[in-house]
């Protein structure tokens, strides 16, 4: 782990199955993230809660809360996205792998998934990224061969 304090943004998605208990789920996720941040010297610039809303910007482009969180990384602020679980990022391995590759693959920004203990700043975290890439390729090839 890094010896200096890292700036991060946390992203918590409330799934449709947790909507009735959304407040408790958000509170528990936020507490877990807070404890992780304290232990690993991470300062959160923001915590963004995704309730599945899509907004439309001035020029018509659609954006999600996840897009907003990832955008915060690109504007020179935090360098770390922290989520309670990888499941908060995508519902399939393929989508997860593409998202992770696109935003964290070059190592400019880091990803932490608390539940899985994945931190892409570490060798183990980078190994998980490689594994996700492999699974995504396998998933795509399997879908391709199934349709052949």
pLDDT, tens digit (0-9, with 9 covering 90-100), for 19-70:
545 588 889 999 999 999 999 999 999 999 998 766 655 655 667 899 999 9
The span from the CA of 135 to the CA of 22, in Å, is 31
Residue 32 vs residues 21, 70, 110: alpha-carbon distances, Å? 17, 20, 18
Residue, of 16 and 7, whose pLDDT is higher: 7
pLDDT, tens digit (0-9, with 9 covering 90-100), for 72-124:
998 878 999 999 998 888 877 778 888 888 888 888 999 999 999 999 999 99
What pLDDT is attached to residue 2?
Answer: 42
Domains and CATH numbers, the chain: 6-90+102-121 (3.40.50.1390)
Structure tokens at 52: 């599945």
What pLDDT is attached to residue 100?
Answer: 85
Highest mean pLDDT among 11-15, 43-47, 96-100, 140-144: 43-47
Nearest to 90 by CA among 75, 102, 79, 78: 102
What pLDDT is attached to residue 1?
Answer: 45
């Amino acid at each position: 782990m890094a010896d200096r304090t890292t700036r991060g943004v946390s992203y918590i998605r409330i799934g449709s199955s947790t909507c009735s208990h959304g407040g408790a789920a958000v509170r528990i996720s936020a507490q877990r993230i807070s404890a992780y941040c304290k232990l690993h010297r991470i300062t959160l610039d923001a915590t963004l809660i995704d309730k599945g809303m899509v907004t439309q910007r001035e020029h018509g482009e659609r954006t999600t809360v996840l897009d907003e969180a990832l955008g915060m990384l690109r504007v020179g602020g935090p360098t770390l996205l922290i989520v309670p679980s990888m499941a908060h990022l995508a519902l399939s391995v393929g989508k997860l792998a593409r998202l992770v590759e696109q935003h964290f693959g070059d190592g400019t920004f880091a990803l932490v998934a608390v539940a899985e203990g994945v931190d892409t700043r570490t060798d183990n975290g980078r190994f998980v990224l490689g594994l996700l890439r492999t699974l995504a390729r396998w998933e795509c090839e399997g879908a391709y061969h199934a349709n052949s």
